[in-house]
């Protein structure tokens, strides 16, 4: 689960609705195996400009990465980067387009809220999906990608609400409970709700966990 830190300030309020094509787009050609995809970047810029986010459009990057295993895509709002799973190619151009819009909605939602903390798939993301033409989008994909179960031996707890956050790796920076920040501090970071480490693996097992 991502605990979001924040990115750019709002450049335009909610942009106009961008409908999806009536018919699925034709198969996209010449996709690189890994790395940046100039064709999808151009499409992403066009969509973001259409909804009033020119600053995000100028810096957005789209790339393919085989490091994604179970996720169809990933959005890094700190670098305006969308990463796509190469397995999407086996499911057609329409699935690539849908996943691209899904991840762009994350970038758009955070750009509109500036430094305010928002939930990964909250109302801000939902509105961004509507503006990008995927109003019925779900939080998680249902594609038959291989599932991977990983131990999460690091356990953190919020000192305010007591909610627990298991993690695969140790958190290297200060992170606060999103629910408490939203409830008590208008969604902005508050050090009073910094997550506290309450359980960790033994040193003998740590190297195997972090491989």
Distance of alpha carbon 195 from alpha carbon 160, whole angstroms: 9
Residue 202: CB atoms within 10 Å: 8
3-state class (DSSP) for residue 176:
strand
Residues of the chain with pLDDT under 70: 1-31, 141-142, 144-150, 203-211
Model pLDDT, residue 36:
94
Q: Crossing angle for the helix pair 38-50 and 93-113, nearest 10 degrees? A: 50
| Both tokens assigned to 189 | 């970071």
Model pLDDT, residue 123:
92
**Catalytic entry in 8, 63, 103, 164:** 103
Instruction: Give the H or E element holding residue 54.
Output: helix 54-59
Model pLDDT, residue 150:
65
- Which domains are seen in the chain, by residue range? 1-148 (3.30.2010.10), 154-209 (no CATH)
Distance of alpha carbon 130 from alpha carbon 185, whole angstroms: 28
pLDDT tens across 81-139, in order? 999 999 999 888 999 999 999 999 999 999 998 877 888 889 999 999 999 999 998 87
Q: What is the pTM of this model?
A: 0.60
Per the annotation, the verdict on 137 as an active-site residue is no
Beta carbons within 8 Å of 64's beta carbon, 6+ residues apart: 31, 32, 33, 34, 35, 37, 83, 84, 85, 86
């Amino acid at each position: 689960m991502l605990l979001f830190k924040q990115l750019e300030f709002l450049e335009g309020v909610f942009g106009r609705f961008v409908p999806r094509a009536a018919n699925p787009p034709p198969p996209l050609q010449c996709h690189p195996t890994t790395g940046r995809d100039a064709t999808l970047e151009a499409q992403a810029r066009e969509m973001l400009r259409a909804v009033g986010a020119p600053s995000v459009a100028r810096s957005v990057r789209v790339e393919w990465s085989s490091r994604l295993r179970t996720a169809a895509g990933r959005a890094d709002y700190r670098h305006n980067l969308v990463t796509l799973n190469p397995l999407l190619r086996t499911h057609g151009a329409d699935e690539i387009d849908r996943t691209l819009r899904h991840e762009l909605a994350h970038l758009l939602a955070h750009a509109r809220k500036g430094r305010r903390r928002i939930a990964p798939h909250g109302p801000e993301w939902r509105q961004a999906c509507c503006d990008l033409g995927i109003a019925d989008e779900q939080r998680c994909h249902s594609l038959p990608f291989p599932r991977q179960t990983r131990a999460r031996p690091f356990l953190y707890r919020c000192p305010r609400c007591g909610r627990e956050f298991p993690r695969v790796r140790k958190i290297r920076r200060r992170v606060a409970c999103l629910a408490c920040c939203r409830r008590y501090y208008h969604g902005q970071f508050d050090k009073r709700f910094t997550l506290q480490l309450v359980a960790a693996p033994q040193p003998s097992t740590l190297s195997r966990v972090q491989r």
